[in-house]
Amino acid sequence: MTVISEDGTKALSMAFKPTSHVEDEGSLLWVGNNIGEIIELKVAAQGVEIKKRNAHTRRDVIQIHRYLNQMWTIDESGLLYVWPPDSTGSPNLANLPSNPFRLPKGHTFSMIVGSELWHAAGKDIRIFVPTVDVSVQFQVLQRPLRQENAGEVTSGAVISSQPDRVYFGHTDGKVSIYSREYEFIKLVHISVYKITSLVGVDGLLWAGFSTGMVYVYDTSQTPWVVKKDWHAHQDPIVRLLVDRSSFWTLNRSQVISLGQDNMFKVWDGLLEKDWIGKCPE
């Protein structure tokens, strides 16, 4: 798809919009750009469905998160808007979002954990609950979570088999672990290279590095066990993503890696070729 845009505009963030019917999932995409616009694209028609000018007034829209049937958009100044569903059960750019929430500047990573936004700016991790319900307190903790002995936060993940733990990757190759009750558990040094992406897959932690390498760790053992590692990209890995729908749509588990070499590759999330088993007698 090629979308003609004004000179000087750049797409900075995107996320698929929730739809009221499951068969329509993946059909509408929200894209945020560097002049504060949010554009809704219709994938099948390869065109613009609606454009919201000044959604974030002349500011870079650096992150878009999907939460249930809502969209959360964040700009470089730290403003966060919640776009609730309309009468159709889906967010509508033609409507107004919530009053803006204020986040710290310097966003380096954020992710949704349960109903909370875990937001990192440099080394500081803060937890927020964005909602249109004004009775709910927005900021959960008065002070940020911070590890002085680790670099800036670059990435994070939750492993389904350990739902009470939240993992964060750092620029100096360390992984910090917190409980869902916001208590620090431990700091693990896994590399001298920058961790660029983390994702939980089938009970294991996948880590992408600035070297283009991917490592898969079993974090249930001490020390962590490397289940597999390989050179996935020639350039740094930008992002690892789990294709959550591949189990029922393709009958397999897929993990996608995106590299700065402008390549994206699909990997077996279950690492089936690496299984060790006995041959039937």
- pLDDT tens digits along 219-257: 999 999 999 999 999 999 999 999 887 877 788 889 999
Q: Higher model confidence: residue 275 or residue 280?
A: 275
**Rounded to 5 degrees, what angle do the CA atoms 117, 205, 186 make?**
70
What is the arrangement of strands in the sheet containing 204-209, beginning at the earlier edge strand?
Answer: 195-201, 204-209, 213-218, 225-231
Give a yes or no: residue 221 inside a domain: yes
pLDDT tens string 8-60: 789 999 999 999 888 888 899 999 999 999 999 998 888 889 999 999 999 99
Predicted pLDDT of residue 280: 54
pLDDT surpassing 80 at residue 87: yes
Predicted pLDDT of residue 52: 95
pLDDT tens string 121-168: 999 999 999 998 889 999 999 999 999 999 999 999 999 999 999 999
Predicted pLDDT of residue 47: 87
Segments forming the whole domain that contains residue 213? 66-273
pLDDT surpassing 80 at residue 76: yes
Task: Name the residue with tokens 């954990």.
Answer: 113
Predicted pLDDT of residue 114: 96
Predicted pLDDT of residue 152: 98
Of the candidates 220, 194, 214, the one whose C-alpha atom is nearest the C-alpha of residue 271 is: 214
Coil, strand or helix at 247: helix
Predicted pLDDT of residue 150: 97
Query: CA-based diameter of the chain, in Å?
Result: 69
Structure tokens at 141: 């903790």
pLDDT tens string 178-222: 999 999 999 999 999 999 999 999 899 999 999 999 999 999 999
pLDDT surpassing 90 at residue 90: yes
Task: Name the residue with tokens 């776009």.
Answer: 83
Q: Could you give the CA distance from residue 195 to residue 109 in angstroms, rounded to a whole number? A: 12
CATH number of the domain to which 173 belongs = 2.130.10.10
Tell how far CA 250 is from the center of its chain: 23
Give a yes or no: residue 112 inside a domain: yes
Mean pLDDT, range 81-91, rounded to an integer: 95
Give a yes or no: residue 45 inside a domain: no
Predicted pLDDT of residue 139: 96
Q: What share of the chain is helix, strand, coil (3-state, %, to 5)?
A: 5, 45, 50
Provide the domain count of the chain.
1
- From residue 31, alpha-carbon distances to 70, 98, 228 in Å are 15, 19, 35
Predicted pLDDT of residue 175: 98
Q: Higher model confidence: residue 102 or residue 2?
A: 102
| Residue 155, Ramachandran bin (φ over 0: left; ψ between -120 and 50: alpha; else beta) | beta
pLDDT surpassing 60 at residue 264: yes
Give a yes or no: residue 8 inside a domain: no
Give a yes or no: residue 263 inside a domain: yes
Predicted pLDDT of residue 75: 98
Give a yes or no: residue 178 inside a domain: yes
Structure tokens at 23: 């068969």
106 residue type, one letter:
G
Give a yes or no: residue 206 inside a domain: yes
Task: Name the residue with tokens 């569903």.
Answer: 85
Of the candidates 210, 212, 219, 230, the one whose C-alpha atom is nearest the C-alpha of residue 271 is: 230
Predicted pLDDT of residue 196: 98
Predicted pLDDT of residue 45: 87
Mean pLDDT, range 94-101, rounded to an integer: 94
Give a yes or no: residue 214 inside a domain: yes
End-to-end CA distance of the chain: 53
32, 64 Cβ separation under 8 angstroms: yes
Q: Could you give the CA distance from residue 200 to residue 160 in angstroms, rounded to a whole number? A: 7
